[in-house]
Every structure is written in C-alpha cells, then in structure tokens.
Structure 1
C-alpha cells in the first residue's frame, strides 16, 4: 500500500513538473533554492531573523510580479505551471513565517500547549505525505478534537494564566494552531466533497482566508480597526451554525461540514495571530 502511495506521489510530481513551462522554470528554481535556504536556517541552533526577512523580501518581489494572481510570460500569456509555482511561493512564505514565529519567547507556562501543538502538527504533516489520498474524514476527527480542545483554552484568541495574565508566546501558539487547521483543511479537501448548499459559505471563507493571508504576508503596520471587518465577517458566518453545524434550507446537514469548520477555525487563528502581532508591537 505504501509503495502504491509513493508511486502515485511520484507520478503526480512527474506530471506536475512536466507541465511547467520554460518561462516559469527560473522562478520555480529560485523558490526551491529559497525553501532550501530557509530549511538550512531552521536546522541551525541559532539564526538571525534578519536573514529570514531578507528572503521574505525576495519572496514579496516574486509575488509582486504576479498580475491578478498569475505569473505572466513576456508576451502577456499565462504559462503552464501556475499551481506548482504559486504553491511553492505560498509554502516559502509559510516556512519564513514559521521561522520568525519560532524565535519568539515562550512562557514556561505555555510550553505544554506548545509541545502538544507541535506533536499534532508533526502528525498531520506525516499524514499529508503518506496517506493523503486514502484519508477519510473520520481519520482526522481525533486531530480536530485535539485542536478544538486547545482552542477552547483561549479567550478572545489569547491563552491566559490562572492569575489572568497573558504570558509570552501567544503568536507562536496561534501560528501553530493556524498551521494545524490548515493541514486538516488541506487533507479534508482532498477526501471530502462539499455539498452545493455549502459552497457559498465555503467560498466566502476561502475569500476571507485569502485576504487574511495577504495581510499576514505583507505584515504591518496595521491596526485592530483594519482587522475588524474580517472579524465581523467571520462572526456572521459563525452565527449561521446551529449546534455547531451548517444547515441547508431544509434543515439537513449537508456534506462538507468538517472542511468549512476547519476553514473557519483557520481564519480565526490567522486573525488572532495578526492581533497578537499588533499587541506585541505596541
């Protein structure tokens, strides 16, 4: 079974690379190099945040070369291989953000939560590499429950001590939650369909997520007021749920619950992560 999965992975990779146009090959090659450089930095015991920031700036330059989200050829056409290069770009942004978040100090009181989230994320990353095509929603249920248990420890996106204090390390934990929810969403989206009745909600959440990712990607300075519309939109979608479920017009529970809820949770966590960044800068 593992051999079949590996063969399928290699076949898909081979097909994807063969569809990469010559115009995008230099960009793809540089992004692979950047990701390798980020991995090298992450493997060191210590590294300078400025080294990561330099690579982030280069990623932003590459990102800014896109027009309406597409990389264009010199003649203005849209060359093949967009998904591969865009996926690499997004992964590089994630890796860079991960490294910067890892430099933040974490209060000893939050270390048990931090370690638990690291374990969940590592397990989900292993699943995404080895079982992504054979997973069912039930396989991910335990991970979703664990994430929701951690989520329930927060108030307004913050982890508090018993004394009511807000310890250091909020941004790191929010990032790990966001990353884990994102992995759950990606795995579910490859194994679970979304019913037509839920597509409007799914599309709205996808749009909100894309906007929040853009805000996070380019950093501040920004204010809580600028994040308020996203918070209101998420709250309005959240309020559509009945006993935690999105229902259709007939009161039935359509397929795609787990995907939409994972996406909603991810959006909240990006938002909380951004808020934590603002508060740490103040």
Structure 2
C-alpha cells in the first residue's frame, strides 16, 4: 500500500479526477466530507466527517498522512448574495484553519499541504500578462477571497509544513464546470461571445490540472504556481473554437454587459473579467503540459 494522502473537496470537479488518479498511482486516499452519506470505507479509500463551520473534524483522518491536497470551498458560480459571498469566503478559510489547528493540537506529522487557489487574485486587465511575482491587488470580491484563502496557508509554515498554492484558471471538463455551460447555447444555435469578447481567459484541461497536482506532490514543490495552460485565449476565440468543433454557426451578436448584469448580478465578473496568466514558472520546474493549445484540448473533451 502506498503513501496516504488526505484530500478535502474530493467530491468536486477537480477532487473526483484527482482521487481517481491518486488511487491509480497506488496512493491510499483519506477524504473529508461534510455529508455523512458520502462516506465510504474501502482498503485504500476512506471517508471521514468534518464540518469546518462548527469546528468539527474526525482526527482519525490524519492517520499516516504526510501530504494534504486541499480543494475545499463552495462554488463561486452561484449568485453573489451577501450570504453566498460569506459562504464562498468562509468555506475556504475555515477549512484551512481547522486543518491547521488539528495538526498543531495533535502534533500530526504532516509535511506538505498543496492547496487550490485561483487566478482571480489578478486584477481585471486586457493588457497585463500576470506571473506569480505580481503583488498588486484591488478591493474586488474575488481578489479579497483569494488573498484570504492564500493567507490562510501561511500559519502552516510555523508548523514546518511546506505550503503550495496552485492558482487555477478555467478548468475545462466534458461534464462539469464552464465548458458544458458554454456548449449548451452553442449546440442549440444560441451561442454568442460574452461582453466585448476581447477579455483574456486562462484555461487548463482537467487532465493537465490533475497531472500538475501530482507533479507538485511528487516533486515536493512549494510556493505559488499558476495552474493554467501556456496559451490563454480571448473569449471570442474560445466561443468560435467550440462552435467550430460542434459544427454550429455563431449568428447572434455578443451578449451585452448589461444583459449579463441583469442575469448574473455581481457574479458577471466571472464571465467578463480578463486575466492573461503565465504558465512559465511551473514549466521551468519541469512540468510538461499535454494540452498547450486550446483547439486540441477542446477536441479531446468535446469529441
């Protein structure tokens, strides 16, 4: 039996794919879930209950664990009411705080925590090309969430736990996340680019993202890394390529910003903000993407 990993957010889009890969690679997986109905117990795959909101965790989950893969956090793709915004933030920071206090209190021998983060930390810009050294930020909701999320990793360092934050872009997957939502209207001949269409979208194929997590785990990399493919595209190009692969025409004008405001409210930022993000740091560390360009990535996922 291989090394034991503890995974949070194991039932989400990335978590499910990551669990599958870890098991295929011979790791034993302990996972934390807030739903007792989702708890399974097999030789190499075992669920444990936790509730970060109530500061509750089954500390047996840490048994034999040296590395934590943290993907906990409620979806940002929900209407940004005050209650949902509070949940988006607290679900991320409270999860990390509970892991930290558990390790500190019980002196568990965790050596490394690899946490999801997001490219939402970079301000909206059509012209900047962001790498991990960028320090500036602004007061927008997404940036404040990601800043607090990454800030919640820092206390682990005082426990001699290595920390890694992976700033994830738009994850392209056949069944979940952004791609099916964009494909739906295009399939039904209602497809159109969003807003101006010239906003940069930094994306990554789900398989490459899982491989990137495994690469960081096995190479013991620490610090902050952008988890995006090396070739971001503008929104219009993304829409056109999906239409091309689906063999559908794009006849409608772009969806105007005011319409997105009416439909999505403040959450329109997810569709309209522009972040052109650089993948050079993870490539320089030795990671090789299987999907460098968008078209082959989409062909693989849509076909």
TM-score range, shorter chain: under 0.3
Instruction: Please give the TM-score of this superposition, normalised by the length of structure 1.
Output: 0.27
Which structure's residues are more often helix, by fraction?
1
More relative contact order, 1 or 2 (CA 8 Å, 6+ apart)? 1
